[in-house]
Amino acid sequence: MEKAKLCLVDDHLIIREGLRMLIEKKGIANVTGEASNGKKFLEILDSSQPDLVLMDVKMPDMDGIEATQKALQRYPDLKIIALSAYDDDEYYYQMIEAGVKGYILKGSGIKEIEKGIFTVLNGDCYFSNELLRKLIINLKHAPEKRADDLSLLSKRETEVLKEICNGLTNDEIADKLFISNQTVKGHRSSLLSKTNCKNSASLVMFAIKNNLVAICN
């Protein structure tokens, strides 16, 4: 099976070199492009033709938010995973709205990065568990439940939404809830429509804001 093509976008050379070495050594993907900021990434996007991009958030000249928006305008099916340091709280929601399919903290190990890459390549969304916990803690004083939105969701849709927040893939949700993969996809599509969310990442934020997921001890 042909390996996926991956592009690394980060303004720190040591991070790009480290990621490239680990990704290629473990045979996770072929790194076909690197860029130190969003502007340079857009310049090499056509030639590198990546299947997936690991995108830093804070960068000079053009940050990851703008670069993600512009890249997805050109290639709507491009899969992008945001990489963030712990102090990037204010950028979480902007990157999600920009259209990223995953969000991984820079302090994560290669195993989590590998899981995130394969999960997103397989069509699912990926949040690192530590990031999800951090988001829940930050939003624990969020506005009260939007009853009108929540009342639209069926019991099964709510169950599926909670498992999406737990980081499970469609196949894993199907196995856990004893339903088919196609049924899970149908519920996911319905959830997106009913909540007016653009992607699975936005669904996670919806669940957090509406207290559908709890802080793990």
Q: Average the pLDDT over each of 18-32, 96-110, 117-131, 195-209 and give the range with the smallest value.
A: 195-209
Side chain identity at 179, as an amino acid letter? I
Structure-token pair, residue 16: 């790009």
The yes-or-no verdict on residue 29 having pLDDT over 80 is yes
The yes-or-no verdict on residue 92 having pLDDT over 90 is no
| Residue 216 confidence class, pLDDT cut points 50, 70, 90 | very low
137 or 195: whose pLDDT is higher? 195
The yes-or-no verdict on residue 111 having pLDDT over 70 is yes
List, for residues 31-50, the tens digit of each pLDDT value.
999 999 999 999 999 999 99
Which DSSP state fits 57?
S
Average pLDDT, the chain: 86
List, for residues 134-185, the tens digit of each pLDDT value.
666 665 555 554 545 667 889 999 999 988 887 788 888 999 999 999 999 9
Q: Which domains does the chain have, with CATH numbers?
A: 5-136 (3.40.50.2300), 141-209 (1.10.10.10)
Cα(56)–Cα(186) distance, integer angstroms: 32
Q: What are phi and psi of 133, to 5 degrees?
A: -60, -45
Cα(81)–Cα(28) distance, integer angstroms: 15
pLDDT for residue 46? 95
Q: Find out whether 176 and 159 touch, Cβ atoms under 8 Å.
A: no
Mean pLDDT of 123-128: 82
13 or 90: whose pLDDT is higher? 13
pTM (two decimals)? 0.75
Residues 6 or more apart whose Cβ sits within 8 Å of residue 126? 81, 101, 102, 103, 104, 115, 116, 119, 120, 167
Cα(69)–Cα(48) distance, integer angstroms: 18
Share of the chain above pLDDT 70, in %: 86
pLDDT for residue 137? 64
pLDDT for residue 217? 34
